[in-house]
């Protein structure tokens, strides 16, 4: 099964409401879909979204990196899978979103060639999952009403985007916590917005008032590893690293320092499924559980994340794969079920999702 062509196209879809974090504001999804075709007519689909503030990639750079790698893959056999993955990772450095998009398409093809859904090819068994949903940063009242709306849609875990002014952020968290039923779990994501000392002071106050979130995600800048360790040693709320961990080496350093409680794995940071599997396995060796997160990306990339979550269900215990739920319309054909917090994998060979 020989690769005969690789091309990209852009996927655009409006969001229900703007997505706002401490780092950025996005009004519509626009990302890159890559289609890898083989001589037997099989087509693999992959996808990657530009997040310049996090991965350094733009929509144009993702397309350029894919077209740079593509000639090295054309003519190769899907059965020679390890070589394909090696080519994706060693033809160009960085460009992790572009590599992830290509890897997703290659894994889709490999699973199709084995007539298996991807999760089963990766030894997963779980097919039904629940994701949290993001509450974008806004004025407190707006965040409270958005949180209540999410709960009315059936979400029991909310990811609260904060990370502006710590005093204002504390007010936001208190107001949301007070307005919600007690069983609702809060994940706080400050997207590098605070200093280590601000984080400890803020969490001290919240914990004193009995507000203990499921986790506090990346409160300090990505490079501030010492800051993460400082926080972990001083607060009860579990600490989750996101922007600090792209590679296995990033994770190794944090795990050896015991600087965090959890790690957020994203395909766009690792460069795709192969390294995400290795990262989950490394965390498992250290008894550290993982969140599987996403960028503001479409259903193909999200599907790949869900298959991965099934493959490492013992380690990946938190899902933040809400990007499809944030879209106002569904731009692809899917055998998977996306129903707000509930995502269910299908038994279609491959990803079970593709462009029409
Ligand atoms: Mg995050």
Pick from 231, 222, 173: nearest CA to 193? 222
CA of 96 to the centre of ligand 1 (A): 16
H or E stretch covering 84: helix 81-90
pLDDT beyond 70 at 356 = no
pLDDT attached to residue 254? 98
Strands (E), the chain: 3-20, 25-38, 43-48, 128-130, 133-135, 157-161, 185-189, 215-217, 239-241, 262-265, 289-292, 316-319, 333-334, 337-339, 342-344, 353-354
Distance 242 CA to ligand 1 centre (A): 5
pLDDT at 24: 85
What's the confidence (pLDDT) of residue 334? 85
Our CA dihedral for 240, 244, 245, 246, rounded to 10 degrees, sits at 140
CA of 319 to the centre of ligand 1 (A): 12
State the CATH architecture for 3-115: 2-Layer Sandwich (3.30)
Ligand 1 centre to CA of 125 (Å) is 27
Residues 326/13, Cβ–Cβ less than 8 Å: no
Tell me: the pLDDT tens digits for 109-160? 999 999 999 999 999 999 999 999 999 999 999 999 999 999 999 999 999 9
Instruction: Specify the DSSP element, H or E, that contains 83.
Output: helix 81-90
At 330, the pLDDT band (50, 70, 90 cuts) reads: confident
Q: What number is the average pLDDT over the span 244-248?
A: 97
Query: By percentage, how much of the chain surpasses pLDDT 70?
Result: 100
Residues 6+ apart with CB under 8 A from 345: 117, 119, 127, 128, 129, 303, 306, 307, 310, 336, 352
Tell me the whole-structure pTM to 2 decimals: 0.96
The alpha carbon of 86 and the centre of ligand 1 are apart by a number of angstroms equal to 28
Mean pLDDT score, 217-225: 98
Query: From ligand 1's centre to the CA of 332, what distance in Å?
Result: 26
User: In CATH, which superfamily holds the domain spanning 120-354?
Assistant: Enolase-like C-terminal domain (3.20.20.120)
- Alpha-carbon span 20 to 223, nearest angstrom: 22
54, 83, 122 from 111: Cα distances, Å: 30, 16, 9
Supply φ then ψ for residue 161, to 5 degrees: -85, 120
Instruction: Give me ligand 1 centre to Cα 291, in Å.
Output: 10
243 Cα–ligand 1 center, Å: 7
Per-residue pLDDT tens digits for 284-312: 999 999 999 999 999 999 999 999 999 99
pLDDT digits (tens, 9 = 90+) for 1-51: 999 999 999 999 999 999 898 888 999 999 999 999 999 999 999 999 999
Mean pLDDT, rounded, for 232-255: 98
Judged against a pLDDT cut of 70, whether residue 281 lies above it is answered with: yes
The first and second tokens of residue 255, run together, are 């795990």
Query: Which residues are CB-contacts of 149 (< 8 A; sequence separation ≥ 6)?
Result: none
Q: Report the pLDDT value the prediction gives residue 22, as an integer from 0 to 100.
A: 82
Cα 331 to ligand 1 centre (Å): 25
Residue spans per domain, the chain: 3-115, 120-354
Q: How many other C-beta atoms lie within 10 A of the C-beta of residue 314?
A: 9
Question: Helix (H, G, I), strand (E, B), or coil: what is residue 2?
Answer: strand
Catalytic residue list: 161, 266
Residue 190 C-alpha to ligand 1 middle, in angstroms?
7
Over residues 201-205, mean pLDDT = 98
pLDDT confidence of residue 23? 84
């Amino acid at each position: 099964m020989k690769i005969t062509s690789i091309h990209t196209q852009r996927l655009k879809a409006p969001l229900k409401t703007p997505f706002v974090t401490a780092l950025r504001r996005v009004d519509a999804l626009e990302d890159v879909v890559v289609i890898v075709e083989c001589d037997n007519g099989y087509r693999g689909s992959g996808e990657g979204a530009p997040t310049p503030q996090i991965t350094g990639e733009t929509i144009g750079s993702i397309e350029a990196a894919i077209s740079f790698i593509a000639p090295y893959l054309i003519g190769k056999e899907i059965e020679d899978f390890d070589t394909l993955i090696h080519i994706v990772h060693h033809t160009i450095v960085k460009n992790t979103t572009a590599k992830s998009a290509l890897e997703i398409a290659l894994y889709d093809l490999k699973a199709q060639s084995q007539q298996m859904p991807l999760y089963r090819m990766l030894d997963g068994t779980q097919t039904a999952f629940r994701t949290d949903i993001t509450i974008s940063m806004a004025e407190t009242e707006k965040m409270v009403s958005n949180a209540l709306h999410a709960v009315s849609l059936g979400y029991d875990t909310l990811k609260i985007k904060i990370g502006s002014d710590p005093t204002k952020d504390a007010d936001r968290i208190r107001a949301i916590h007070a307005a919600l039923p007690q069983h609702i779990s809060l994940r706080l994501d400050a997207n590098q917005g605070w200093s280590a000392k601000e984080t400890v002071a803020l969490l001290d106050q919240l914990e004193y008032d009995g507000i203990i979130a499921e986790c506090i995600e990346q409160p300090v800048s990505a490079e501030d590893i010492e800051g993460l360790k400082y926080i972990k040693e001083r607060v009860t709320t579990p600490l989750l690293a996101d922007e600090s961990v792209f590679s296995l080496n990033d994770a190794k350093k944090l795990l050896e320092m015991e600087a965090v409680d959890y790690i957020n794995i994203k395909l766009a940071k690792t460069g795709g499924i192969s390294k995400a599997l290795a990262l989950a396995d490394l965390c498992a060796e250290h008894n550290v559980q993982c969140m599987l997160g996403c960028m503001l990306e479409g259903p193909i990339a999200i599907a790949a994340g869900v298959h991965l979550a099934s493959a490492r269900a013992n380690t990946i215990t938190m899902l933040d794969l809400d990007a499809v739920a944030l879209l106002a319309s569904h731009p692809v054909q899917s055998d998977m079920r996306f129903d707000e917090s509930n995502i269910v994998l299908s038994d279609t060979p491959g990803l079970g999702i593709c462009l029409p």
